[in-house]
Amino acid sequence: MGNLFQNIKKEGIYAQIMAGIYTVIPLIILYSILAFLGQYDGRFFEIVHSLSQFVFDMIVPFMSAFIAMAIFGRYALISGFIIGLLSDYLGMGFLGGVTSGLLVGYLTLYAEYYISGKHRYLKIEEFLSSILAVVVGFCLGGVFIYFVFAPPVVYGLSYLMDILVHLQSGNIIILVMVLAGMTSFDMGGPVNKVAFSFVLAAYTSGLFLITGPALIAVTIPPLSMGLIVLIFSKRFDVKERKMGRISLLLSFVGITEGALPFAMKEPFRVIPAVVLGSMVASGMAAYFKLSNELMVASVGGLFGTNDIVLYLLCHLIGVMVSVILYFVLKRRNLIFHHD
């Protein structure tokens, strides 16, 4: 498996965490859909509700498993899953999945590095050294999670949750606008992913008044740029018109990266425009207490929101702000421009 420190440098802890988060996104979407359907009356929907709870219970263990696998490989998958299950059982939640995955992965990696370094004396085969490392990583990971990490993390999460639940309306608006600005700032980059991780954690905690408005920011950048190119097509060349159509299409499924080509070409126009539009749209949604029980943006979010008209209106106003600011900045011919 190589040197521990070489692995950290090559992959990066951030990339390993995101590997786990991206893996469970389909599970989170599936849970949100099942949970939404499980609210209805009837035997079938009772079964769906029970199934949604089962899927929800799998989110943290799977995230932990795939983070551990990103660090050490497939041998760490099962131990990462079990320790992730333990962390969730102890009440560590979303943060427990990240902590347990990193802990198991790096403990296993370090154990394998130490054992394999001695194998010429102990005559241990590579496969056996990996298995022994997994056992060591599993045991140590369980001990550390149970006795060292769980108590302060659970206390801290309980305190943080109490603060979030009792946030005043004005504070929620500010929080949501900050998350919206981060989401649209680099459109799938590191800042976007930090915001998404927070929104994900809020969603799994049932804070739909935060996640509902914040998810609107996912759609504003690609929708705004797609509509700009569609409506003012004569101002753009053939390649840009094609990118505009793609951006518009991606906006319908909530993929922020659709606006990225435009942001790379005109960063000082596009980024301020979509950031402000996203912040206005999400802030407005938070002000009017829009919620969404689906962890899905754009068209899919229509099925989980508590007010469809307001949901659509927030998108419309956010796009209008982005379009207007884009052309204001273009007219002023600021810094990076192209005509």
How many angstroms separate the CA atoms of 163 and 182, rounded? 21
How many angstroms separate the CA atoms of 61 and 325, rounded? 44
Number of Cβ atoms within 10 Å of the Cβ of 118: 11
Least confident of 161-165, 191-195, 205-209, 224-228: 161-165
In this predicted structure, what is the pLDDT of residue 125?
Answer: 65
Joined tokens for residue 79: 């131990």
Least confident of 191-200, 216-225, 329-338: 329-338
In this predicted structure, what is the pLDDT of residue 162?
Answer: 76
Whether pLDDT at 272 is above 70: yes
Contact 301, 311 (CB under 8 A): yes
In this predicted structure, what is the pLDDT of residue 11?
Answer: 56
Greatest C-alpha distance within the chain: 74
How many angstroms separate the CA atoms of 237 and 234, rounded? 7
How far apart, in Å, are the Cα atoms of 101 and each of 13, 28, 45, 148, 222?
A: 11, 18, 34, 15, 33
In this predicted structure, what is the pLDDT of residue 339?
Answer: 44
CA 315 from chain center: how many Å?
20
| 84-113 confidence digits (pLDDT tens) | 999 999 988 888 899 999 999 999 998 988
Whose CA is closest to 25, among 33, 175, 79?
33
Does residue 312 or residue 128 have the better pLDDT?
A: 312
Residue with structure tokens 């943060």?
A: 95
| Mean pLDDT (whole number) for 68-91 | 93
Whether pLDDT at 7 is above 80: no
| 23-54 confidence digits (pLDDT tens) | 888 888 888 888 888 878 888 988 998 998 89
Whether pLDDT at 296 is above 50: yes
Would you kindly state where each structural domain of the chain is located, as residue ranges?
A: 4-165, 169-331
| Mean pLDDT (whole number) for 324-335 | 77
Least confident of 11-15, 114-118, 307-311: 114-118
| Mean pLDDT (whole number) for 179-192 | 86
Amino acid at 22: Y
Task: Name the E strands within 260-335.
Answer: none
Average pLDDT score, the chain? 86
What is the reported pTM?
0.75
